[in-house]
Amino acid sequence: MRVVMLSKAVVAGAYQRKLEEIARLGVELTVLAPTGWREPRVGLIPLERRFTSGYTLLTLPIVWNGHHHIHFYLGLRPLLNRLRPQVFHIDEESFNLATFLAMRAGVAIGARCCFYNWANIDRRYPPPFSWFERYNLRHASYAIAGNQEAAAILRRHGYRGPLNVIPQFGVDPNLFAPSDAIRQQDTFTIGYVGRLVPEKGVADLVRVLADLPAQARLRLVGDGSEQPRLLRLATDVGVRDRIDIQPAVSSTAVPDVMRQLDVLVLPSRTQSNWKEQFGRVLIEAMSCGVPVVGSTCGEIPQVIGDAGIVFPEGDLAALRTALLRLMDDDRLRTELAQRGRQRVLAEFTQAAIARRHVAVYQAMVNDSG
């Protein structure tokens, strides 16, 4: 089975393990990616070539890099003509320009095409995005959604074809593995890994830290516009000396960061135009045997399941209570660490996610006649 995937997300090296797993299942896979993606409010994320065995990774020039909904790729149609895939996996949302142009190119060469939607807030898009969406929903052979709300929105917008809910990427449990080192007992390190932007709720962590015992420390790993405000807030509430802010690290360096934490917190807050679509750092921490705490924002409770603590978003008292429980109860921390690791091994490994994607591709090919 010949499959071509178009994806800007795979610039992150850790995500490429899924591609190796797909190829290992007998798929003749070619992946098309930009040389880097300019993430808004973060900056350029260059393409890492970290896991590239068993498939072909090619690059294409990208226009309007950093604009999620209006970027597109040069030279795609001629390349598809040469590759002649049976399945063309467009790793973009149904209302994006890149998806529309890629879908047209794929349909023109007779490929079975699918797209991938994360959007979990229902919107009616203005032209031309509504036109893009209408075309893509009509011509796609399959749709994949990253969460249940995104799947429901696709149905409400008129998509009637086959649809499956599959996380975009899992984790490599060998790379994201628990540490054998014994943690220091004199400090309790609360961690956040990700963008430092208002919707992630990191300010709540800073405020709560002021009400926790002195041995609690907060480590923030990431870049973003919120950093100066977080530092001012830390000074205002008297915890500046208990906070360590480190710059973002590469995707393959994240496991080392996770293994230095006693708990990973994702305190996201729903905005009018955003809510958490998955929360990948949760499964990365869980795979490393780190207990997780997450808010009720978006998909977070479904990702955590019974393998962590979920608190009402924005409820500082509930967040404080959750962290105090973990600080005071070694047995609970151990139990949640074990549950998290087992949940990842059962549902969120790159191999498990790859098998579910290949099942979709096979269904697409089988339905081609």
How far apart, in whole angstroms, are the C-alpha atoms of residue 207 and residue 97?
41
Task: Give which of 276, 349, 354 is closest to 89, Cα–Cα.
Answer: 354
| Alpha carbon separation from 27 to 5, 147, 208, 224, 354 (Å, rounded) | 12, 25, 49, 38, 11
pLDDT at 289 > cutoff 90: yes
pLDDT at 58 > cutoff 60: yes
* Signed CA dihedral, 227, 294, 12, 33: sign only: negative
Q: What is the predicted pLDDT for the residue at 180?
A: 84
The CATH-assigned architecture of domain 2-170+349-366 is 3-Layer(aba) Sandwich (3.40)
Q: What is the predicted pLDDT for the residue at 184?
A: 67
pLDDT of 167-203, one tens digit each? 999 999 999 999 987 766 789 999 999 999 999 999 9
Q: What is the predicted pLDDT for the residue at 40?
A: 83
Q: Is residue 99 a contact partner of residue 132, using CB atoms and an 8 Å limit?
A: yes
Decide: helix, strand or coil at residue 84.
coil
How far apart, in whole angstroms, are the C-alpha atoms of residue 363 and residue 32?
22
pLDDT at 91 > cutoff 90: yes
Q: Is residue 265 a contact partner of residue 292, using CB atoms and an 8 Å limit?
A: yes
pLDDT at 64 > cutoff 70: yes
Superfamily name and number for 188-347: Glycogen Phosphorylase B; (3.40.50.2000)
Task: Give which of 29, 112, 98 is closest to 68, Cα–Cα.
Answer: 98
pLDDT of 218-262, one tens digit each? 999 999 999 999 999 999 999 999 999 999 998 889 999 999 999
Q: Tokens 């260059």 — which residue?
A: 46
pLDDT of 309-365, one tens digit each? 999 999 999 999 999 999 999 999 999 999 999 999 999 999 999 999 999 999 999
Q: What is the mean pLDDT of the chain?
A: 96
Residue-range domain boundaries for the chain: 2-170+349-366, 188-347
pLDDT at 41 > cutoff 80: no
Q: What is the pTM of this model?
A: 0.87
Q: Which of 33-42, 110-119, 309-318, 356-365 has the lowest mean pLDDT?
A: 33-42
Q: What is the predicted pLDDT for the residue at 32?
A: 98
Structure tokens at 367: 């339905």
Domains 2-170+349-366 and 188-347 share a fold: yes
How far apart, in whole angstroms, are the C-alpha atoms of residue 291 and residue 322?
11
Q: What is the predicted pLDDT for the residue at 183?
A: 67
Percent of the chain with pLDDT over 70: 99
